[in-house]
Amino acid sequence: MKFIRFVVLILSVFLAACAGASSQSHSQSGSSAYIQNKGSDTIVNLALAWAEKYQAEHPDVSISVTGGGSGTGIAALLNKTVDIANASRQMQAEEITQAKARGFDPVEFVIARDAIAVIVNPTNPVSRLTMQQISDIYSGKFNNWAQVGGQDRPIVRLSREVNSGTHVYFRDTVIRLGDPKNKTLFATDTLLLPSSEGIVSEVRQNPNAIGYDGLGYVPSDLKKVAVAKDANSPYVLPSIATVNDKSYPIARDLYMYTAGQPTGAIKAYLDWIVSPEAQTIVANLGFVPIIK
């Protein structure tokens, strides 16, 4: 009897193991492709909307989307832990050098365009600024709203954190006025916030605050400032139209990067992202489609 019980016990363990292996195999084969997508917080909501739509149409593909900033996504690509890195800035020369040292050439895809809106509290009477004035505010040269035609109030500067591609773009394009030799930095008392939503929340609560955000993140209850390239140029509000006609001076491309030329499911997904169907989602979320 003891021997029979032993045999039954061994058979039970064996059958359970087989069932477990069968279940695991079924789970792994349930999705034939898994794409990891990480990076820019500017792009993350758009990337999530794309992933949801694509997976609904392609149930054999699973897409994981996370934010963390452009620098985080690019670092993950360099470490070969993601398939696609999202970035609201172009890869820097040193990052491309690191990629080559690790055995691959990064491939860049322009997937949408964006305007960076300069925003203030609705109670702030300032409604227009030149690029130079914005630079002077963020570099600390101007510290009172009266210096740019506003009330006698201190200026509270808000920015994304340094790992953000939007932070880097704003520094290079606005604070440094696009001059690669200019080394001007954000004023040391600039408040660095971890998300676009954080900037929106602070501007909404603080009548002295100034911030910047991707156009798709700016709600209608906040005030967008009209921006001029210089004192002799027209003041222009950010919109899809003013990005496309290039009249708004703080606009940029948005990117995805892969480690080498993509193939298979990753290539199919990137091809879909630039299709009219996917670009309709771009416009719906307040960004600028690359297909007019």
Coil, strand or helix at 53: helix
Query: Would you say residue 25 lies in a domain?
Result: no
Rounded to an integer, what distance in angstroms lies between the CA atom of residue 224 and that of residue 126? 10
Q: What is the pLDDT of residue 182?
A: 97
Number of domains in the chain: 2
Same domain, 119 and 247: yes
- Inter-CA distances, 63 with 5, 33, 36, 58, Å: 48, 8, 6, 10
- Single pTM value for the model: 0.80
Domain that holds residue 98: 33-112+254-284
Together in a domain, 227 and 127: yes
Q: Is residue 13 part of a domain?
A: no
Residues paired with residue 34 on neighbouring β-strands, in sequence order: 62
Kindly state whether residues 258 and 157 are assigned to the same domain. Answer: no
Residues paired with 66 in a beta bridge: 38
Same domain, 134 and 203: yes
Domain membership of residue 17 (yes or no) is no
Q: Are residues 103 and 215 in the same domain?
A: no
Closest CA to 204 of 217, 192, 216: 217
Sequence-ordered list of residues with C-beta below 8 angstroms from that of 100, at least 6 positions apart, any chain:
none
Q: What is the pLDDT of residue 31?
A: 52
CATH number at residue 59: 3.40.190.10
> For every one of its 292 residues, what pLDDT tens digit does the chain have, with 9 covering 90 and above?
444 443 334 444 333 444 333 333 233 334 589 999 999 999 999 999 999 999 999 999 999 999 999 999 999 999 999 999 999 999 999 999 999 999 999 999 999 999 999 999 999 999 999 999 999 999 999 999 999 999 999 999 999 999 899 999 999 999 999 999 999 999 999 999 999 999 999 999 999 999 999 998 999 999 999 999 999 999 999 999 999 999 999 999 999 999 999 999 999 999 999 999 999 999 999 999 997 6
Strand pairing class (209-214; 106-120): antiparallel
Structural domain includes residue 291: no
Shared-domain flag, residues 237 and 137 = yes
* Domain-located, residue 101: yes
**2 within a domain of the structure (yes/no):** no
| 126 in the same domain as 218 | yes
The structure tokens 């990480």 sit at 38
In a domain, 240, yes or no: yes
pLDDT number for residue 291: 76
Q: Are residues 90 and 199 both part of a single domain? A: no
